[in-house]
Amino acid sequence: MTTTTDSHRTQRPTAALRWAPVLSATYAQATAFAATAATAFLVTDIAANFGIPSAARLWPLGAFALGLVVAANASRRVGALARTRYTGSASLAALTLSAVALALAPNFGFALGAALALGAASGLVIAIAGRVVIAAEVGDGTGSTVLSALAVLAGLTAGTLSLFALPAFGWRGVLGLLVVASALAAWKFAEHTPHE
């Protein structure tokens, strides 16, 4: 009887430890997808703020997309999951700092550079956090796919909701909300992702 009780006690923390990295990685992915959606929705407001003509207003989105694609493709060559905690946390920190830079951009050229950096950081976060989700034992394996899909949906929903916050906070304030979300994601990812 005592043995059974002891085994139940040891199994609960193990399950919690297994879920904590998965949920923090899913939240990290959702934050990166939210950065993507928010940039797409706010790009015309950002460009209009600097008096950029209509023909060039999508340039920040192009810079973001370029950074995302290059970083996501480059991260595939990294290899095993070693140091995922550090690379993922660093990528989330870069996402946070890039969002700060874009929110505080003094001119359009600076905004383009910040959007490029934000895209690169988002691409790294999506790829690295995705590897954590896939490597976890979630059900028969389909659970990992479901969680990644939920991360995309949550990110797009957050990006859409940013449009409702836009009149009250402006595009800089909306990016400030992204800064808070990504800083929280970096903290939780570093806290819960195993060392190896």
Structural domains in the chain, CATH included, are 21-192 (1.20.1250.20)
Rounded to an integer, the average pLDDT of 176-189 is 95
Which of 11-15, 42-46, 75-79 reaches the highest mean pLDDT? 42-46
- Average confidence score pLDDT of the chain: 85
CA 41 vs. chain centroid, Å, equals 16
Residue 37 has pLDDT above 90, yes or no: yes
Rounded to an integer, the average pLDDT of 111-136 is 91
Work out the number of other CB atoms within 10 angstroms of the CB of residue 195. Answer: 8
Q: How confident is the model at residue 16 (pLDDT cuts 50, 70, 90)?
A: very low
pLDDT at 9: 46
Residue 21 has pLDDT above 80, yes or no: yes
- Element at 193 (helix H, strand E): none
Instruction: State which amino acid sits at residue 140.
Output: D
Rounded to an integer, the average pLDDT of 115-137 is 89
pLDDT at 170: 95
Reported pTM: 0.85
Residue 52 has pLDDT above 50, yes or no: yes
pLDDT at 73: 86
| Radius of gyration from C-alpha coordinates of the chain | 19
**Residue 126 · residue 29 · CB < 8 Å:** yes
Look at the block and give the residue holding tokens 């060559």: 77
Residue 11 has pLDDT above 60, yes or no: no
Residue 2 has pLDDT above 60, yes or no: no
Rounded to an integer, the average pLDDT of 95-117 is 97
Residue 112 has pLDDT above 60, yes or no: yes
Check residues 162 and 13 and name the one with the higher pLDDT.
Answer: 162
Look at the block and give the residue holding tokens 């895209």: 119
